[in-house]
Amino acid sequence: MLSNTNLDRSYALRREEVRKSIKNVYGKIGTPIDFGELAFLTVISAVMSMLWGGTQGGAEGVHFGAELKTLLADLMVVFGAPNVSDFFLVLARFDLQGYEKRAKSIFEWIERILDSVIEKRRNLVEAKEEGSGSLMNEQRKDFLQILLELTERDDAATSLSISQVKAVLMDTMVGASDTTVTMVEWVMAELMEHPEVMEKVLEELTEVVGLDNLVEETHLPKLRYLDAVIKETFRLHAPLPFIVPRCPSQSSTIGGYCIPKDTRVMINVWAIHRDPKIWDNPLEFQPERFLNSKWDYSGNNFHYLPFGSGRRVCAGLPLAERTLKYIIASFLHAYEWKLPQDTEQDLSDIFGLVSKKLNSTIAIPTPRLSRLELYTK
């Protein structure tokens, strides 16, 4: 699913959803748009297409996306909030803060969606088997079909249960959508807060893509300044301020501190990325620091860890990097975005498993491209 080969093959799906969003925005020219919601509907539609080849269309899709966005935002807050039972284990079974109940409700809602998708796929497969004797004909299998076939294996070591299939789908859907959307919104917010940086990004897009074309993934490697903007946004607004916890398998001494075996270790990426011993003017938004630099997302340099490091580095890194850059480049190239008149941005965030903007990014789009048909095809 996340190999470069499969990501190349699924580009048409991502492209289709981005083009739909560009077309939809054209019908709202001159009116304020919730940019985070726009990004979420685009990302979740692309992810669902790659997972099981289907999206929620029309008004139903807008309602579904808006509800899912709200639920996932609540889930990230629940996961990141301090829990008294973490400090007083005897209280764990009481769920005093209601976090377990809220999380369970969200997971049940998502599970109902997955049950419906799996049932429809099984019915489709059965119908095709009866009609042609071929499981999926010659069409390439999507992620769901591969997982469902694993449930039919007799080998316990390589087979999956339906519960495991749903868990994988849920993890992929949540992980691939929520952090990507959060970063798209942060990038746009920082660009509107720094118009001189926005101007440089637009100049680069005009030069590389041209105003008579839409952005393609083949353009992305040439968008070096936009890449620096995205990396600087990751530095200031790490999607996971505390990356996935580690537990050492044996006691260790690090920096003069003894870390006992099985201790839960929290890595404070938010603090590392703002450390004045590492970064000049760490609180300032300066994309130039990433131009022609050594910094990347691999996690090999422990001063910059937006996706973690080592064997537990984010499995969705290739997908996230492509999707984020493609979406933000497409929206910036197709439209000029400005704040509503007499309004100011609030760059405050809300603490959770994922660090989100406290208030939505609202912007008004104006067309940039030279031909009307680019917005309507």
Q: Which residues partner with 258 through β-bridges?
A: 253
Give dist(CA 71, CA 363) in Å, integer: 23
Going by the DSSP 8-state scheme, the letter that residue 10 receives in this structure is T
Q: What angle do CA 246, 234, 204 make, to 5 degrees?
A: 150
Please check if 247 is assigned to a binding site: no
Q: How far is CA 333 from CA 80, 276, 344, 348, 366, in A?
A: 35, 34, 23, 27, 11
Q: Encoding tokens for residue 320?
A: 């996230």
* 331 closest CA partner among 16, 38, 34, 56: 38
Alpha helices in 237-302 (DSSP H): 269-272
Contact criterion met (CB below 8 Å) for 124 and 141: no
Q: Please report where in the chains the tokens 């099985």 appear, as a residue.
A: 262
- How far, in Å, are 79, 221, 238, 310, 325 from residue 75 at the CA level? 6, 34, 18, 26, 25
**Residue found under tokens 């498993």:** 353
**DSSP secondary structure code for residue 23 in this structure:** H
Using alpha carbons only, how large is the chain's radius of gyration in Å? Answer: 22
Pick out the residues of the known binding site for heme.
314
Pick out the residues of the known binding site.
314
